[in-house]
Every structure is written in C-alpha cells, then in structure tokens.
Structure 1
C-alpha cells in the first residue's frame, strides 16, 4: 500500500513540474540555435587558424627579405674588393673595365672636345673616365643628330680660331693653289662626256675629283670676298662653318676618287651630277643626286621570302642601293656634294627657271 502511494506521489510531481510534450516551433528553434552555435564555433576556429597562418607567412617573408638583404650586402662587399686575374692569364671583368685608363689631362682634353664639363660635383677620376667612355660609345652607336651638332660646333670653333689667328698675324688669305694648273686642265675642257662610263671608266675619277676640288676652292674664295660686316653676322658665320664642315666631310670622297676604289655606281652617279651641273641643268643633276643618295629601289615587301621559290624581282632590289644609308661617312660626303651643287647654282644660275633645283 505504501509503495502504491509513493508511485502516485511521483506521478503527481512529474505532472506539476511542466508540460509533457514540446511544440514543433520550440523544437525547430532549439535546432536552429544549436546550428548557429556550431557555426560560430567553426568560424572562430577558422579565424584562429588563419591568424596563425598569416603570422607564419609574415615571419617567412621577413626571413626571406633579411636573407636577400644580407646577400646583396655580401655581393656589394665582394665587388668592392680587388679581383685578381685568373690562372689562365685572362683578365677579370673588373680589370677589363679598368683597361680604359686615361691620364687626367687626356680625359679633360677629350671631354672639352665633346663640349662636356671636365668635372661633375662629387665625381672621382674613375667616374669621369666612365662618363667619357659612355659619351664615346654613344658617338660610336651613331646618335646622328648629336653627332651632326658636335661636328658643326667643332667646325665653327675651328674656323673662328683660324680667323682669329689670321687677324692677329695680319695675314691675307691666299687664293693661290699649287694645283691650279691641274684644276684648269680638267675643268676647262667642257662638260664630262658620259660616254666615258662605257668606254673609259677610270678617266672619270680625276674629272670628278678636280671639279669638286675647284668648286670647293671657288666657294672658299666667294666667302672670303664678302664684306667684314657680313662675315661677322650669324648667317655669315654659318656659311663659313658649312664650308669648313663640307671640306672636312669630302676628304673620304677625294681619297676614294684619288685611289680609284669607290663603288662603280657611286662614280657613275657622281659623273652624272658633275655633267649636268657643268651644263647648268640643275634639275637633272638633282635627279642624279637622288639616285645616288636614296636610290630608286622598291621596298622588298611581299617580294622576297614569300614562298619556297626565288622571286625574279629579288635581283632588282639589290641593285639600286641607297648609299646615304650605308654608313655615316657616305652620308656626310653625299650631303657635302649637295651643298656644292647648291653653291654652283648660286654662282652660275641656269638659263631657265625650270632647270633650277627645288
């Protein structure tokens, strides 16, 4: 009886403590809260792992940067040390750089020749030699615009120096030349016969040589005959400098004509230029000059190396070469020839305006 009463009391306690069943909403809410708790725990765990990984990467990057800096400092210290020559006798790279070793006076002289300052602020002798070498290499690589400016400046300076010395000595420019007789012999016989190109090609060299020599001498006398006021103007100094520069640039041409080692097509075009200038047909002389300087060859686009067969026009492309583009020496003396043609037209104008150069 007592056991039955105890069981009844327990059931009453359970019924009085709360509801026996859960609603569906409450169960769903409890499930969602559990999932949110799990997601939050997973997020925190991933954030902790990411922080640990980033700190590891940062420490790794710091170690790599320190190693690179130490290596660069070591290379810098090694480069400052003198490198001995190898056992085979070949010079080391640093010694190869030191081969370009000039005395300070020679270095100063060359820098002044290029119109450069002889010493920059904080510059050592070795830095100055390196700068001079860079300037000379820039000249050798063919910086054409700067090279032309330097040539012109040197021609102007040389001409002004000669004029100052001549005025200081009180000398008069001598127009006599020991080769006047040869000039008259080769220039007073009338225009060059173009048939000599086929009959006697070697006879063209002295004719062209002495014509340009006589024209250059006449140009010099023409400039000296001007008034002193005209000579002192900027235009007058420019004309004198052009003459001096042309005389300097024509030396390779005169040497080639004298030794008869110029290319045949160059001599042929020069003979045509001289022939038409002597006849005062400057328009035709300009056409011959254009054939000499830039040629009349077609651009080899779509003609060569198109297929496996050789094209018939390939031989035509290599004939008429633009000689002005061959090298700097050819460009300079061909340009000087054009100045002589302009002067010839000035002192001996054509009979018709149609025969003038453009």
Structure 2
C-alpha cells in the first residue's frame, strides 16, 4: 500500500458523514410498543364506528322509506274513504229525490258543500269533540255535513275549567247574585253568574286537593268526592246553557249561592234542606181522617215538596252543591262563627 492510499483511508475515517450505516434495532422501548398498540387499537375503533354509521344510515333510509310508504297508504285510504262517502251521500240523495217524487213532495234544495269544505273536520275528530261536549257522536241517518252543522250549532267555544261550558264566565266581582230576574236577558246573565261561581269553587277545591295530595285513604276519598261532584254538576251546567232550569229549583239555588257569597253558610244549608227534602211534614201513621179525599188536596203542600227525590240527576247535583258549600266555608270562612255549618 502506497502513501497516498493510506492517507486517503485515514482522511475518510476522520469525516463525520462517512460513518457506516447502523444496523436495525434489535430491541424496542416499552413506550414505542405501547404507542404502536394504541395506534392499532384506534384504527380498529375507527373501522367499527364507520361500520356502525353505515348500518345506522341504512336503517334510517329504510325507516324513511317505510314512513313514506305508510303515508302514501294512509292518503290512499283517506281518498278512498272520501270517495266512498261521497258516493254513498249521492246515492242517498238520489233515493230521497226518487222517494219525494214518488210521493209528490217538493224537491229538496241542494246542499252546497262550500261551507263544509271551507273548514271540514274528519269524522274521527268530530266524534271525539261531540262526545267531549256531552252530545251523541252520530244520529240515525245523519250525514257528515249534517253532523258538522250540528257541531257548529252547539257552539265550539268552551271554557277551560273543571266543567267545560259554552257560557261566557264573568269575573269574581260580577258573580254577586240577588234574585231571579223576570226578563230573559237577566236570566241568561244569572246563569252565567251561577256557572262562574260554581266554576270558581270547583277550581279552588281541585287546586287545594292537588296541593295536599297524599297516598292515604282519606286523601283519595276527598279527591274522588271532588271528581264525582264535577261529574254530577255537569247536567246542571247543561241546563244553564239551555236556560232550561225549573223555577222551583232555580230560586232556591240562587238563595243558596247568595247566602254562600255573603258567607252565611248556615242560611245556605237551610236553603239546601228546603230544596232537597222540603218543609212539608213527613207522614207518620194516619194521614187522613175523612172517608173521602178532598178535591185538589194534593195541591195544598205542592210548594213544600222536596226535589231530592224528583229524579236521580237532580239528586246528584243537589248533593254536589252541598259539597261545594262544605268546601266554601273552609276556603272562605265566615266572620261570624255561628254561620259555620255543623
């Protein structure tokens, strides 16, 4: 080996970039192994999540397709029902025209469907609304147009209270009653006053029971009594709406409400007793001493008869009025303790 080759060899050893490539690592650190395992785990989780998302997307797509198919079927069923109803009404109208022509009766005026189509209601919804108002859902031979017209005549404006009513309720300051007026307008306002007063009492009664509601027998019995009173007083509200209240019942009710508003609960209870059982003497033993009955004898004490035995509906709402009095004397106690009912 000459001197030049030896010098070049030594110079190449002295250069830093001339190091030989290091061999591959035989051992790995624990942190590197953990990082590699973590990367592999995250990749697997991403693949699983992507698969789940794909399955959910397919499921949503199937549900949307099923919903669209169901909506299409419902629409088709509704159209078929409307078409069937229209054909049935046309057939019934044709039969009615033929019958009237055969009997020589004048032809009926053709009904216009513009009023019905402007604000039409489905039969199912119409049935529910009529039942909620306490009226029959369907009458014999009644068409959809006639049923809708009957529903509108009944009055769709119902108050949201314990007992829904079509009467316009008055404020508490206008509930004060005095006596039964003679004119029709005065009686209508009186019915609104009575309905407003009983609505106020029932509302306060219900809210008081809701605040003190417990899982005990006494609490459940009190709540059931309140619910039963609401149900039993519904016919009375319907009489108020129609203005069809017997004078023999209306005057004592006004007397009871007037005394209750003035917190004279003993006087109100006396009025209730006169209304319910009357003030005629109860027959015990011999009631007649003559052989022949006098003419018109039954009219002598006609005004003294009670109304509690008149019919079941009257008996129930009179008992409910008594329960309202019992609650009212607790909610609005009298200033004079002697006016508390026993």
TM-score, reference length from structure 1: 0.45
Higher Cα Rg, which structure: 1
TM-score, reference length from structure 2: 0.47
